[in-house]
Structure 1
Amino acid sequence: MPLACNALQKSKSAMAIISSASTKLTWILAPLLVLATATIRVHGQPPSTSGFISLDCGNRNTTPYTDSSIRGIQHQSDVGFVEGGLTHQIAAVYMAGAPYESQKTLRSFPNGSRNCYTLPSTPGKKLVRALFTYGDYDGLNRTMDGSPFLFGLHIGANFWEAVNLTSWDPSSTIWKEVLTVAPGGSVSVCLINFGTGTPFVSALELRPLQDSMYPFVNSSVSISYFRRIRFGQATDFITRYPLDPYDRFWEGWSFSYNTYPWMTLNTSSPVRRLPGDNTFQVPEGILQQASTLDTNYSFFEINVAVGPNLDAKNLQLLPIFHFAEINISNQNRRFDIYSDNDLLFPDFSPSRFQADSMHENGQFLHNPTATFLLNKTRSSRLPPLINAFEVYSLVRMDNLTTDADDVNYMKEVKKHYNLARINWNGDPCSPREYSWEGLTCDYSKRNQNPRIVAVDLSTSGLKGGLVISFMNMASLENLDLSHNNLTGAIPDYQIKSLKVLDLSYNQLDGPIPDSILQRSQAGLLDLRLEGNPICSKVKDTYCSNKKKKTSTVLIAVIVPVVLVSLLVVMGILWKLYWKGKSGDDEDYAMYEEETPLHIDIRRFTYAELKLITNNFQSIIGKGGFGIVYHGTLENGDEVAVKVLMETSIAESTDFLPEVQ
């Protein structure tokens, strides 16, 4: 019978176990939909919690505390780990039933398409867990009003999973876990607004893992928790720290499946791992328990059916089976292990008092029914046995994060100028649809992290001096800080990559450093200073609206539509010529009205022109004014890019008419 209690729920799947006897009698047990929690009591010194981060999201009290339900783990407010959001408490009617103290408060994000937490970390493998208790905090009964209620999660720059709360009991707590590799000094967790309900989170937790664990997890592959089950008899439905020093959640199978023909085995004898085997490190206390069947039965099936959050057709699962023979008898036990109808491990026999962890070397399986079968072989005298089971779904880490140095420099800029732009959350460049406003990123180098090539912070209310962080960005080519209130002198920057520096219309009054002056005079830097007090002290060269440089680059982009229009006009003129010859008095002016000549006029930055022309590689012609390069716009249109090489635009009065 199903349990009838208010509890902690895993939203992703349900579990059912089916067993069979030789008499063909089939047992079908109730799906595991309602779970329970209790306090774990383990004697002795608890393991270290070094590196643990446990955020009570929405808790306004910044004093850390220890939850009485989780011995030894300290929780803290999420203040300082995220920008924006609104803090709430769940409804009073649900307070007493909250499984953990951290589930009584939450932070919601009604504004912005992406809102991100930044968790400090060290490079290496991490378990990241997010917990969600709606608790009707807004009084709208959103989980039960019949409308879709779901939002997304990103781990770093990649999609992790959806949080689907549609038609869920508001008192339920669900959780999501991902095992991932932290690329640097932090891990970001982002909530994505799908437009189907306000994203929120109740708690965020980070746990360090040993790098030898879960060897199939790497910089390009993460795994999302689908199910983690401990078999045998358990006193608590959720087993976690301190029994598991990594604070993994193990669900107690016996809370729903503890009747005949199921048999529980346990031992107080040590259950060891092979020397050097640190792949999964299942706690010994879990391996000392197991479940099997009455000897009249031959197989059982574990069904962790797909819930509403995942697409079964595209689901890729990685099952991991943990076995240890703890039966004191020496009778033979052998069985086959199947994933759906595919045989994974034939004729397997668990080792006595030693952990065996079986998986397909990190191979993800297509198993749309999410069913796994353990079937006794003909030569076996005992039915199958199992101690623990894990199954994960694939999370592809295809989106590379922005170069770490660029990220750090942009964070320094953001902090220095106290910028609070709503979309300056998470990774600056990745994924592309959530890149920061005002940044242009270069994604052209495959398998390399995106780099920031242009920053536009014009009219952004910047005050104070120029921060040096800008010039430390090795790939930055265009920096626009115009129309702000920047003061003081221009620092002596070493700006090897910068090609455009627009500081116009600020309050800069210091001298121009020699390093910048020399690059500008050599035609390597377009320096714009008009509208600054400094212009009263320097020559007009850098302060005129009409730029005068040793080498001026003027671009004419002529798109194919111009060529087509010219052909049309030439056809009209040809008809006019021949009809005039024949004395036809028709009014040909209407042709000009019906077929006007349209010229697409756009401004491009130097960085954009480099991309358009593939760094000015293909020369298609030379004229009196300069070289013409072949280029391709982002929409595929082919263009000609003419580069004017003169002492000033004013001296090339014939060039603009030629372009037009």
Structure 2
Amino acid sequence: TQQHQMATSFSCSASTKLTWIFALLLILATMIQVRAQPPTAGFVNIDCGWTNSSAYIDNATRIVYRFDGESVEGGLSHEISEELMAGAANEQQKTLRSFPDGSRNCYTLTSIVGKKYLLRALFTYGNYDGLNKTMDGSPFLFGLHIGVNFWESVNLTNTDPSDTVWKEVITVAPSNAVSVCLINFGSGTPFISALELRPLEDTMYPFVNTSVSISNFQRFRFGNVTDPITRYPTDNYDRFWERWPDTSYPWINLNTNNKVESLDNVFNVPADILQKASTIDTNYSHMSVIVATGRNQDGKSLQLLPIFHFADINESNLSRRFDIYNAEGLLFPDFSPLRFQMVSKYKSGEFLHADAFFNLSKTPSSSLPPLINALEVYSLIRMDNLTTDSDDANYIKEVKTHYSLAQRNWNGDPCSPREYSWEGLTCDYSKSNQNPRIVTVNLSTSRLRGGFAISFMNMTSLENLDLSHNNLTGAIPDYQLQSLKFLDLSNNKLDGAIPDSILQRFQAGSLDLRLEGNPVCSNVKDTYCSKKKNTTSTVLIAVIVPVVLVSLLVVMGILWKLYREGKSGDDEDSAMYEEETPLHIDIRRFTYAELKHITNDFQSIVGKGGFGTVYHGTLENDDEVAVKVLMETSIAESTDFLPEVQTLSKVHHKNLVTLQGYCQNKKCLALVYDFMPRGNLQQLLRGGDYSLNWEQRLHIALDAAQGPHFSCVFAFRPCMYVCVFFFSRSCMCVLTKDGFE
């Protein structure tokens, strides 16, 4: 009976049996595929600074994280301070790697060439160094490069040390690896806590390509949301969606349990996010969405691309139509979201220069106010810098591995950006539309050991190779690169025969070969094995040394001459002072050096006359003076100078300028008077900025006549002349309306 029942249970036609077999196989295959391709397939999760080589599972996301030793060279592992350890939300916040050495330090993450990825870097300072650098008031920032292009600055100035800052970028892998580089700006030691790489669908974010990447500016979800951050497993691509902070009236939260369909897979917004939305009370018609910049972030310098996600989840059939504006004007007119279907609004490739301020305004024909489910805002990253030619890059990295050259800090791309090219390499950037090529490798005195790296022979643009003064052993390989013009293998331990291809090129003059100091030269006396001096160095020494010596002699001669002239001048001035008997008068005698100092080396001329030049000067007490200097051609002929000084030193009158002193020197004869800032009498009489009337002119004549040497005053009003005659031993002066004559 039991056997019958079994037979009855499985009794069916042949076609039905075949159908069941295929169905079972399909289910089995699907189960195997699901097991082989978990949702996190392709995720790269690195806990920076984690010292345990075994991986661990994150408690919140169930994502497996591993240590970073396989992805980076250099740096130091740290834990955050003990007092902050208990408050860490996950294991990644507890450790970090810092890079106190080098201007650029890079992580290299395995990728698929041409694949689109979301890459995220996280930073938790945690006062790991005990210096409280984020809160000490000084700038604390460093840079990020995605590949060979600038991504963003990480500015932690005045940031709570327990806070976690993250940066996200969506980019296309240029090769089988994506590099993330930390750039030292000199304002704090760069560090990183975690790196996360997430593969995206090729159809997602269609405006991202090999020339354009986008950095996450802000990403929000709306509605009644509990968690501050929504990520994996809600989002299969582990994007960070922040909760919109403004939920107070007149904002109203909507939610539904109905399925919300997506019309395309351009953004693949999670269903849980689309089932929630925010709107406003029906008494209002405008929703303002202001996306503020993050701490220490300058949004005005960025080019922004907003992406709006809408799905009307209201059960009502009333119409909902609105315009979408930004600070520059209308972006999308008369938009109507579909019920329970997602629609994304964006302008592909059009990045805005305005602030991230958006206004959703109800149209007159609409019955319901605006609504929004999610918003993404990205900033533009131009991928203009070209990476090193892939073959050259791979071969030089093989050389690096072959000789264990980690100590040279060869990180990131070998040639790009130019300011961070590898030490010892020279690259050719002459063809702006092509990847730079490596033309020179200089590893002289680099402690190289072992045989000759075969990778050098594959670098088809290499022109100069210097491996001198190392410990290379074995035979010289048959290097047949026609591009090579200079090969220096001197002072190594190479032996064996020299390849014919190298000798032929040397003999033809197309290759400069240097092998001296190797066992291979023990029985060879050709020039490439001779201990020849460096021609360039010899020429430079022969030219530079004599030039330097002659220059030094010339400079020393000039300085000595100037010194002697100065010494002679000073001596001459002092000697003159000593040999001449000073006048027994109450005014000061100035030296020539003092006059130079007073007049700032005779810089400011305030007047000229037949006797010489008048200079403006300032005494030690800041009194201004006029220094009248007799012309050098008249010094030797002057016989009345000293008698005049004696006479003028005795004249004191309210209407006469005071003689402060004199200078008697082989270099000059000079009188030092009080300075009259309004000019001389002639300038006042002739007019200008200040004009004299007839009465003032008459008073001047009368006052002048009161001087001890004036004999008479005549005033001729009809002709408007004032004539004043006075006599001294040497001159007669006449004062007219134009001044003294």
Match of 2:578 in 1: none
Equivalent residue letter for 1:328 = E
Pick one of 261, 268, 271 that aligns with 1:284.
Answer: 271
- Supply the distance in 2 between the matched residues of 1:554 and 1:157 (Cα, whole angstroms): 36
Pick one of 42, 50, 55 that aligns with 1:59.
Answer: 50
Pick one of 439, 448, 467 that aligns with 1:462.
Answer: 448
Larger deviation, residues 451-460 vs 490-499? 490-499
How far residue 235 of structure 1 moved from its aligned partner, in angstroms, is 3.1
Match of 1:233 in 2: 224
Larger deviation, residues 459-468 vs 489-498? 489-498
How far residue 308 of structure 1 moved from its aligned partner, in angstroms, is 4.8
- Supply the distance in 2 between the matched residues of 1:555 and 1:523 (Cα, whole angstroms): 21
Match of 1:299 in 2: 286
- Supply the distance in 1 between the matched residues of 2:515 and 2:228 (Cα, whole angstroms): 68
Contact 1:541 1:547 in 2 (8 A): no
- Supply the distance in 2 between the matched residues of 1:346 and 1:485 (Cα, whole angstroms): 73
Unaligned runs of 5+ in 2: 1-33, 548-552, 559-741
How far residue 538 of structure 1 moved from its aligned partner, in angstroms, is 3.1
Larger deviation, residues 320-329 vs 308-317? 308-317
Q: SS where residue 46 of structure 2 aligns?
A: strand
Equivalent residue letter for 2:521 = C
Contact 2:157 2:296 in 1 (8 A): no
How far residue 518 of structure 1 moved from its aligned partner, in angstroms, is 2.2
Pick one of 209, 221, 237 that aligns with 1:246.
Answer: 237
Q: SS where residue 251 of structure 1 aligns?
A: strand
Contact 1:442 1:451 in 2 (8 A): yes
Pick one of 110, 116, 119 that aligns with 2:109.
Answer: 119
TM-score (norm 1): 0.75
Contact 1:464 1:487 in 2 (8 A): yes
Pick one of 208, 211, 223 that aligns with 1:220.
Answer: 211
Q: Does 1:97 align with 2:87?
A: yes
Residues 460-498 of structure 1: CA distance to partner in whole angstroms, max 9, x if unpaired?
Answer: 111110000111111111000011111110112331211
Matches within 5 A, 1:209-608: 209-253=200-244, 256-274=245-263, 277-367=264-354, 369-546=355-532
- Supply the distance in 2 between the matched residues of 1:422 and 1:250 (Cα, whole angstroms): 41
How far residue 134 of structure 1 moved from its aligned partner, in angstroms, is 0.9
Q: How many residues align?
A: 516
- Supply the distance in 2 between the matched residues of 1:591 and 1:553 (Cα, whole angstroms): 28
Matches within 5 A, 1:23-172: 48-71=39-62, 73-123=63-113, 124-172=115-163
Match of 1:575 in 2: none
Q: SS where residue 229 of structure 1 aligns?
A: strand
- Supply the distance in 2 between the matched residues of 1:420 and 1:593 (Cα, whole angstroms): 53
Q: Does 1:191 align with 2:182?
A: yes
Residues 294-336 of structure 1: CA distance to partner in whole angstroms, max 9, x if unpaired?
Answer: 1111111111122454434422100000001111111000111
Match of 1:178 in 2: 169
Q: Does 1:203 align with 2:186?
A: no
Larger deviation, residues 416-425 vs 504-513? 416-425
How far residue 453 of structure 1 moved from its aligned partner, in angstroms, is 0.3
How far residue 81 of structure 1 moved from its aligned partner, in angstroms, is 0.9
How far residue 423 of structure 1 moved from its aligned partner, in angstroms, is 3.3
How far residue 592 of structure 1 moved from its aligned partner, in angstroms, is 14
Inter-CA distance 120–263: structure 2 relative to 1 (3 Å threshold): same
Inter-CA distance 166–508: structure 2 relative to 1 (3 Å threshold): same
Larger deviation, residues 434-443 vs 495-504? 495-504
How far residue 76 of structure 1 moved from its aligned partner, in angstroms, is 0.4
Match of 2:550 in 1: none
Inter-CA distance 84–475: structure 2 relative to 1 (3 Å threshold): same
- Supply the distance in 2 between the matched residues of 1:339 and 1:310 (Cα, whole angstroms): 20
**Percent of residue pairs identical:** 69
Equivalent residue letter for 1:378 = P
Q: Report the RMSD for the aligned CA atoms in angstroms.
A: 2.7
Equivalent residue letter for 1:216 = F
Contact 2:304 2:353 in 1 (8 A): yes
- Supply the distance in 1 between the matched residues of 2:299 and 2:41 (Cα, whole angstroms): 38
Contact 2:493 2:518 in 1 (8 A): yes
How far residue 201 of structure 1 moved from its aligned partner, in angstroms, is 0.5
Contact 2:323 2:360 in 1 (8 A): yes
Which structure would you say has the larger Rg?
2
Q: SS where residue 209 of structure 2 aligns?
A: coil
Q: SS where residue 400 of structure 2 aligns?
A: helix
Inter-CA distance 473–257: structure 2 relative to 1 (3 Å threshold): same
Equivalent residue letter for 2:253 = T
- Supply the distance in 1 between the matched residues of 2:315 and 2:440 (Cα, whole angstroms): 70
Residues 75-100 of structure 1: CA distance to partner in whole angstroms, max 9, x if unpaired?
Answer: 00111211111111111222222222
Match of 1:632 in 2: none
Equivalent residue letter for 2:262 = R
Q: Give the structure with the higher percent helix.
A: 2
Contact 1:47 1:242 in 2 (8 A): no
Contact 1:112 1:422 in 2 (8 A): no
Higher normalized contact order (CA 8 Å, seq sep 6+, divided by chain length): 1
Equivalent residue letter for 2:433 = N
Unaligned runs of 5+ in 1: 1-43, 566-588, 595-660
Q: SS where residue 162 of structure 1 aligns?
A: strand
